[in-house]
Amino acid sequence: MSDLTIKERLIMTPGPVSIDPRVSQAMSNRILGQFDPDFLTIMDDTMELTRQAFETKNKWAFAVDGSGRAGLEALMSNIISKGDKVLVPVLGRFGNLGIELAQRAGGEVITMETEWGTVFDQDEIIAKIKEVKPKVVAIVHGETSTGRLQPIDRLGAAVREVGGFLVVDAVASFMGAPVKVDEWQLDAVVGGSQKCLGALPGMSLVTFNDRFADEINKRKRIELGVRGEDAQTAANFVPSNYLDLTQLQDYWSPARVNHHTEATIGIYGVHEALRLGVQEEGLANRFARHQQVHQALNNAVKALGLTIFNEGDHEMPMVTCVEIPEALRDTNFQSELLTKFGVEIAASFGSLQGKIWRLGTMGYVSQKGYLVRFISIFGAALLQAGYPADVKAALDAVDQAFA
């Protein structure tokens, strides 16, 4: 076996994404013990940066070692007990993931469906909430499989009116679009590390409010190896030890109760990515950058002679969905774009599989330089494949978007 050598890639997918060199540099620091005072300070700082990123004053805002799915499963498996009613509005593949996780937690799942490529009117969801009175509503904010950003700002109040909890999958939208946890009354939210935040894959950020914390603490069980003789254990404890948020609360709190070996290097990367996004760039500037680059890419794609899928219908400002021309369907265009040109784009799933390409402009790659490079290579690849792309017009469209 030879040394690990990774060829250069231009990753233009909805995650994982290329990361800022400063994040890579942060992750190259020396490993600290997980109870080293210096590392505990980094943990505390990460919690505060996470609060700011989610625009919340929640006490609980911390990292879960595991991808966005792990963070979402932690929230779902802790709040859902057997027989609990769970309403899941589905607008794409990751809404179906919500169904999967709710069912695995023992929930009685009620679903709502909308055509892939569209979003729900919030009034429709609110009416269903009033009808069903679920304990949990689980919804995707940024559905990358269809490129849609689901409005959720009115759902939190409606869920609280029936005594329920709103769990939001913001894995893909976090740090690329506003996720106003307090203003929108979101009870629990998960954000991903490997998307708009621009950190390494394998971490997730969660936050939840006091009412959510009070509910899951009814299921608290401290594991045998660390609990005292007088510790009480709930009968309905969370089946997962690793994703037991009540134990993670103890680990991330001043109590510092040992749970698992923290992914120290992962925390370094998340901390630096949050610092760059929240403190150095600022949320408003960051969201505006993602929106500007998204619009520039849309304009360039159309100038190439391609069509945006459901343009203008609640598009995510970090995912552009492009209809695959008939002449390029059932071809090796996407794989050859990677093998010949070193550029990776994404396909879709379900009813959209083979019909659209998904182009991601998340985090560090959401900038003009990367966009110019991508359009140049993508356009050349289209020409080589026999598609009459106007590359000059596309590059001019990018310039005009940043004029």
Beta-sheet strands, E only, within 80-221:
85-90, 108-113, 136-140, 142-143, 148-149, 165-170, 188-192, 203-208
Lookup: tokens for 213: 């914390």
Alpha-carbon span 205 to 18, nearest angstrom? 19
Write down the residue that tokens 């329920």 correspond to. Answer: 164
> Terminal CA-to-CA distance of the chain, rounded, Å?
50
CA 87 to chain centre: 20
The three-point CA angle 57-88-242 to 5° equals 60
Lookup: tokens for 110: 């009620």
**What residues pair up with 149 in beta bridges, in sequence order?**
142
| Burial category of 97 from C-beta neighbours within 10 Å (exposed 0-12, middle 13-18, buried 19 and up) | buried
Q: Of 153, 172, 154, 181, whose CA–CA distance to 51 is shortest? A: 181
How many other CB atoms are found less than 10 A from the CB of residue 257? 15
Q: What's phi and psi for 213, nearest 5 deg?
A: -60, -40
Write down the residue that tokens 């800022």 correspond to. Answer: 20
**356: enclosing H helix or E strand:** strand 356-360
Residue 159 CB partners (closer than 8 Å, separation 6+): 129, 134, 137, 165, 166, 185, 187
Residue 343 CB partners (closer than 8 Å, separation 6+): 9, 10, 12, 337, 374, 377, 378, 381
Please tell me whether 358 is known to bind a ligand: yes
Annotated binding site: 358
Annotated binding site for substrate: 358
